Structure 1
């Protein structure tokens, strides 16, 4: 706020818009407001920016899933923001100045539903992924009708393949067939369960890195 020193026709002190009034050696002067100093980001800030960019681009195709099944959704942060924060803090490392994903720490979902018991994934000719697990439908909050989803990521192609709700927990096995362009590629594979009402999910389970044949 500016202050008039000698009435409306006199000098003033303070800020008005883009100018500043002041009195210097008895003279009323007006000068431009100084520009805010632009500081270059520190190395740590640049590193954090790169991590954030990598996490957001990596998780973008999972936004719909994570908006439903990552954390409780309570508090200030959205589920999607919680997924990004987790990935930055737990699933990205910096190697020679560049951020890299740690795939066995990546989480697709994060929840309280009972997960798989002794899940094992194998590959079969023609791009088929075969998943088997043991029956634990009576443990905790598990139910036989819980739905199984398989999610695959190819680092080379920078591409996700998502198979949601393909079978029930009680089926004890699931097969999915990847597109032809995935043949010969290495895939990071994850699986999770969600209840029929779509109100709860298990924390996703990393099934390893697999060469598609």
Structure 2
């Protein structure tokens, strides 16, 4: 059953016969119902489906971050769409016919804010990660009040630990403590900066694979 949303001449949502109405990104659209296909997908199509599933599953927990800090909305593509597209095209490799993520090519955020200078991360006793970087507040649009966020991913558990606003750029160092579930496990680590106003971020930096101690 379809539902008219703006009177008889307005948009509608739902299915009527062979067409479907919906509101997408503020626009009323209609489309035909695709005919089902009995043709099995090709190997190339199956591989693309596997890549898409891998990337979407990985990025889903980062949605609230990438919705704000991954490029600019471009036409029909949201920032989430842009993040998925970038990751599929730039940060996936095929190993023995199976897609795998290339962690050092993944971008958590993508933007025009001046990034880190000589940032490094090290594991520390007590399940901690320490970050250091050099002062570059005089470069570009950097400000001492820019916030540092640290993103950690455990492939073994398929889970993230995210520490937003862990420090300001002017601090030149940050330290975070991970939950004990990650003790002894390898973590992929990224960090990024965003403005105090939360309206722009830098391209995230990949800081390596660290084993918690």
TM class, shorter-length: 0.7 to 0.9
Q: Aligned pair in 2 of structure 1 residues 37, 202: CA closer, same or farther (>3 Å)?
A: closer
Per the alignment, residue 166 of structure 1 pairs with 166
1:37, CA displacement in angstroms? 5.3
2:40 is paired with a residue whose SS is coil
The TM-score with structure 1 as length reference comes to 0.82
1:38, CA displacement in angstroms? 2.0
Per the alignment, residue 147 of structure 1 pairs with 147
Q: 2-side partners of 1:103 and 1:122: how far apart?
A: 17
Q: 2-side partners of 1:123 and 1:94: how far apart?
A: 30
Per the alignment, residue 175 of structure 2 pairs with 175
Question: 1:153-183 CA distances to partner (integer Å, 9 max, x unpaired)?
Answer: 0000101000001110000000000000101
Q: 2-side partners of 1:102 and 1:37: how far apart?
A: 34
1:134 is paired with a residue whose SS is coil
The TM-score with structure 2 as length reference comes to 0.82
Q: 2-side partners of 1:168 and 1:73: how far apart?
A: 27
1:74, CA displacement in angstroms? 3.0
Per the alignment, residue 101 of structure 1 pairs with 101
Question: 1:27-65 CA distances to partner (integer Å, 9 max, x unpaired)?
Answer: xxxxxxxx8652111110000000000000000100000
> What is the RMSD computed on CA atoms of the aligned residues?
1.3
Per the alignment, residue 50 of structure 2 pairs with 50
1:72, CA displacement in angstroms? 1.2
Q: 2-side partners of 1:116 and 1:186: how far apart?
A: 23
Per the alignment, residue 111 of structure 1 pairs with 111
Long gaps (5+) in structure 1: 1-16, 18-34
Number of equivalent positions: 180
1:75, CA displacement in angstroms? 2.1
Long gaps (5+) in structure 2: 1-16, 18-34
